[in-house]
Structure 1
Amino acid sequence: MWIYRIDEPRLGAVRVREWRRRARHAVAMLVLVLVAATGGLVLLDGSTAPFHTRLFTALWDAANLTTTLGDFSEFDERQKVFMLAAMLVTMFVAAFSISRLTGILSGDDVIAYRENRAMERQLERLAGHVVVVGYRSLGQRVSAQLREAGETVLVLVVDASLADKAAENGNLVILGAADVFDDALRRARLDSARALIATSPDGDANVAITLLAKSLNRSLPISVPGENGLRKALLEDAGATDVVIGDDIVANALIGKLGARTKAVS
């Protein structure tokens, strides 16, 4: 699902940084084991081979040790005892590292953090899209029809369950609580959007959305529902391009149906 959360849990970023720190420590410990094993094997090597040859052989055997590969049957007793101890240390370090790293990236806060990072990249490339504010009955119908027409739809919502539903239906989504909804609009790339459609049943909210959207992109076409003529004038003053009064549409449809029926009877 593609959901950008304005109030993304900051703990996710902290956990990711902690995982990276632990991963670096784990790698450092394994390198330390490798270096210690190499040094020990060089000291225990009683051959008359040149030092660089003994060093390379020791490094090779130590690398085989840390990767659990190789055959050490040619070692003498002292070397085998040393390698046995080194194997035990390697297993302890590996088990310790795995226990420290496992599970830290599977929490919901980390998943939200990673999803936000991926969504940020999506938003950076977004252009020519239609922003739909709200995803209740009207917002769902508008978004569905826009998608059927081949439009890229970005839905802005304040409810987490509606955000999940919008994402499941194939929309890009920005989720932000009411007190940070202005941040959601700023993230919606209104500068490159094709249009904005507000579908909130709250008339005051639609006025606020229109004012803020117009301040971010003065040429952006904005369609908003209005309750009456007074509200329509207020929305147009705020910058709405098209204000649709639902009662007018219903009244016209009813009268049209009645006229068609009357003509059919006559």
Structure 2
Amino acid sequence: MWIYRVNEPRLGAVRVREWRRRARHAVALLLLSLVVSTTGLVLLDESNAPFGKRLFTAMWDAVNLTTTLGDFSDFDERQKVFMLAAMFVTMLVAAYAISRLTGILSGDDVMVFRENRAMEHKFERLENHVVVVGYRSLGQRIAAKLRQAGETVMVLVSDDALADLAAEHGHLVILGSLETFDDALRRARLDSAKALVVTTPDSDANLAATLLASSLNRSLPIVVPGENDLRKTLLENAGAAEVVISDEIVADALIGKLAAHAEATS
């Protein structure tokens, strides 16, 4: 799986545009060589054949020259001299095109640009997915369980290593720095998502993510951890549908275990 990078190096797009411009330039030069070769061969053809046939023969020989197939009709001395010159010019044009185009698309910034474009196409068809914000221990467990349940999981992270890890586990990934996290959430297709689960250890970041996600889709179910009742109230006011206080869950589990043990020993 690929990673969508919000902080995409803009140089990648510039390089792709420059490669396309150079490619158009190279094709134009090759077409010009083809036209010049065809015109020269027509002018040098002194046969009594109809003009249409002479034009077709000249185009055939010119195309063979440009594509280096080497299947030429019989030439006289003047035509051979002209073809030698045309071959030399064609080789120069081909060498120029290769030198201008080779290597420009092999940079990391271009690869990131291509990955982002491919991911954007995936996002256009994405729906009923679950967005998981954060991919540390809790986020990894939740994403894994969701994937085992057959859900499509999109992970939002700000760390390159965690982004790579999430991609290795088969999740869709959006990587964005803390400064561009708002943009990352906007690209997560929250309008068509099934739910949002916030898992980061930063309570303020969780509150901000909940508030922004709720503003983007007020009907989106948002589940987020909270530290206490006050934080739970803040998160619910921000738009969270469910706020889980981990200490309460642990306390209930421990009491349940204690009661079960007491019943077993009584």
Fold equivalence (TM over 0.5): yes
CA distance in 2, matches of 1:198, 1:176: 15
Extract unaligned runs of 5+ from structure 2.
none
Query: Which segment drifts farther, 12-21 or 45-54?
Result: 45-54
Q: Name 2:188's counterpart in structure 1.
A: 188
- Size of the aligned set, in residue pairs, is 266
Secondary structure of the residue that 1:170 maps to in structure 2?
Answer: coil
Q: Which amino acid aligns with 1:178?
A: L
Q: Which amino acid aligns with 1:179?
A: E
Q: Name 2:105's counterpart in structure 1.
A: 105
CA distance in 2, matches of 1:122, 1:68: 41
Aligned positions of 1:43-122 closer than 5 A = 43-72=43-72, 74-122=74-122
Secondary structure of the residue that 1:12 maps to in structure 2?
Answer: helix
Q: Which amino acid aligns with 2:145?
A: Q
Aligned positions of 1:110-149 closer than 5 A = 110-149=110-149
Q: Which amino acid aligns with 2:46?
A: G
Secondary structure of the residue that 2:155 maps to in structure 1?
Answer: strand
Q: 2:212 aligned with 1:228, yes or no?
A: no
CA distance in 2, matches of 1:37, 1:200: 67
Secondary structure of the residue that 1:237 maps to in structure 2?
Answer: helix
Secondary structure of the residue that 1:21 maps to in structure 2?
Answer: helix
Q: Name 1:243's counterpart in structure 2.
A: 243
Q: Which amino acid aligns with 1:40?
A: G
1:12 and 1:109 in contact (8 A); partners too: yes
Q: Name 2:162's counterpart in structure 1.
A: 162
Q: Name 2:260's counterpart in structure 1.
A: 260
Deviations 1:133-161 (A, max 9, x none): 00111101000000000111111111122
TM-score normalised by structure 2 residue count: 0.95
Q: Name 1:199's counterpart in structure 2.
A: 199
Deviations 1:180-220 (A, max 9, x none): 11111111111111111000101111111111111111111
Q: CA deviation at 1:70?
A: 3.7
2:64 and 2:72 in contact (8 A); partners too: no
Query: Which segment drifts farther, 229-238 or 216-225?
Result: 229-238
TM-score normalised by structure 1 residue count: 0.95
Q: Which amino acid aligns with 1:167?
A: A
Q: Which amino acid aligns with 1:186?
A: R
CA distance in 1, matches of 2:72, 2:192: 65
CA distance in 2, matches of 1:238, 1:53: 79
Q: CA deviation at 1:51?
A: 2.4
Q: Which amino acid aligns with 1:104?
A: I
Q: Which amino acid aligns with 1:28?
A: A
CA distance in 2, matches of 1:264, 1:222: 39
CA distance in 1, matches of 2:100, 2:134: 42
CA distance in 1, matches of 2:49, 2:216: 75
Q: Which amino acid aligns with 1:165?
A: L
2:61 and 2:73 in contact (8 A); partners too: no
